Structures are given as C-alpha cells and as structure tokens.
Amino acid sequence: MLSNLLHINTLWVMASTMILGIAAGGIGCLAYWKRQNLMSDALSHAALPGVVVAFLIIQEKNLLLLVIGAALSALLGAFFIQWFTSASRITEDTAMGMTLSVFYGLGVMLLAIANRSPGGNQSGLNNFIYGQAAAMVRSDVITMVVLAAIVIFIIFIAFKEWKLFLFDPDFAKGIGLSIRGMNVLYTIVLVTTIVIGIQAVGVILMAAMLIIPAVSARYWTHSFKMMILLSSVIGGLSGAFGTWVSSTGSGLPTGPFIVLTSAAVFTISLFFGKEHGIVIRYIQFKMQQRSSRLDHQQVMTGKGGRSQ
C-alpha cells in the first residue's frame, strides 16, 4: 500500500514538473528573442532571499507564501537591474551579473540564519538551491500546477501580441499595443515561472530550464509559433523524465537530472537539427560541393564540344 501511495505521489510530482517544463519552455522562447537569457538567471538567484525571508516571517513551509516572497524578491531584482541600467553607465548584462551575485549572496547568508532557527534544519529550505521535487507535498504540487497553467495560458492566448512585441514593436505601437504593458506582463510571467520552479529545480539551475529548451527548438525551426510549441514539448518531457530518474534514488536532487535531460536533447539538436545542425550543415555543404563540381564539369564539357 505504501509503495502504491509513493508511486501515486511520484506521478503527481512528475505531472507538476512536466507542466512547469512546458511553461518554462514557452517563456524561455520569449526571453531568447528578447535577448535576455541572463535575466532569467539573475532573477532566479534574486528569488532566494525572498524565500528565506518569507519562511522567517511565517515560520512554516507554505509554498504559496514562499512563492509570494520569492516573487517580490525577484521583482525587486528586476527593478534594480532596470534602475542601474537607466540611471548609470552600467550596461544591462553588468547590472544582471551584479544583481545575481548580491541577491544570491544575501540569500545564502539568510539561509544560514534560518537553518540555525528552531525547526530551520527540518524546513527543507536547502532544497531551493539544487531542487528536490520529491520533497513536495500535494498542496505544493497543486500550487505549482495552477500557477504554471496560468503562465501557459497567458503565453498562448497572447501569441499575436508577443509576436508583435518581439519582432515589430513600431507596428505594435501604431495599432495601440502598449510596449510598456507588454514588458510588465513579460516580467510577471517570467518571474512567476522562475519562482514556482525553484523548489523543483533550484535557483542555480532554473535558468537552464528556461534557456536550453528554447535554444534546442531553434535548431529545428524558423517559425516562432513552432519554436514555442517545440520548446514547450522539450521542457515538459525533460521535466517529467528528469523527475522520474531522480525519484529512483533516495534524496537525489531533481534539478540536475532535468537539466541533463535537456542538455541531451540540445546535443541531439546541435548535431542533427534540420536548421543549422552540425551534421545537417556538413551534409548540405558536401551536396553543394558535389553539385558545383557537376555544374563545372557540364560547363567544361560544353566548352570542349564547342571548341571542336
């Protein structure tokens, strides 16, 4: 009976990480075309202090409240990045790197304090660094699924708006689409995806769950719509498979297995993707060389026949 319950719990966790992967794959495409891949890394690290502060305030591990704390901390990090970029000569990537380092350092310091508090060692807060989906209870799974489903809905229901926002902002302004509003919405869905995934994947590796599926999908298609769909599929399958592998051992962190699964898909895409995959490009290059030689031979044969 116990093994059956554990099996059911594993399926629940796998379903939640699969939906998380779908959401991460979709929003990762937006970050890819917005050229803000480092932003996801910075905000995932910036979420850690908020998790610990929320725990110190409520003194219990309530995922929804911890997610709210993480979201506020990540949004604060996004504000600092924007402020540093606009109010100083610091470039955006430098501001992201500074925010990542400072917020993560603060989070680790607060985590050490929380672990020394009564019940801190048993709180499971350390799982937010490397991820441990097996430590999630049913209420955690429900919270993750609901929030991830909202993110997926926003990504796909506003597909046309995202396309205009990313590729033709001037036309978007002309038809009355608020670029600032789209930027705010983009930041909200990005932060939401990050904060709901840090318990399962961890703050260190959450960025990889956003970036790798999108980059992998890029090797298979030039279509923005197909890229989002394919990236979501890769993210979802990586989340489910990585969780299943980590669940076969005791206390194994989930994040590394999900990222390694995504990395395996990326490796296949890098070599065999039909759009600029290394092997495909080599085959196309050889075919072009052969075609050029045949054309050259035909030209030379034609010249020889005329000279006679």
Model pLDDT, residue 299: 72
Taking only the tens place, the pLDDT of each residue in 96-131 is 999 999 999 999 999 888 888 766 555 667 778 877
Position 29, amino acid? C
Taking only the tens place, the pLDDT of each residue in 82-104 is 898 888 888 888 899 999 999 99
Model pLDDT, residue 13: 84
Average pLDDT of every residue of the chain = 86
Using CA atoms, how far apart are residues 296 and 221, in angstroms rounded to an integer? Answer: 33
Residue 303 confidence class, pLDDT cut points 50, 70, 90: low
Residue 211: exposure state from Cβ atoms within 10 A (0-12, 13-18, ≥19): buried
| Longest CA–CA separation in the chain, Å | 100
Task: Provide the percentage of residues in the chain whose pLDDT is more than 90.
Answer: 47
Model pLDDT, residue 122: 56
Taking only the tens place, the pLDDT of each residue in 224-255 is 999 999 999 999 999 999 888 887 766 677 88
Residue 133 confidence class, pLDDT cut points 50, 70, 90: confident
Position 302, amino acid? G
Taking only the tens place, the pLDDT of each residue in 33-80 is 998 888 888 999 999 999 999 988 888 877 788 889 999 999 999 999
Angle between helices 206-218 and 179-201 (to 10 degrees): 120
Model pLDDT, residue 199: 81
CB atoms under 10 Å from CB of 209, counted, come to: 32
User: Position of tokens 């049913």?
Assistant: 138
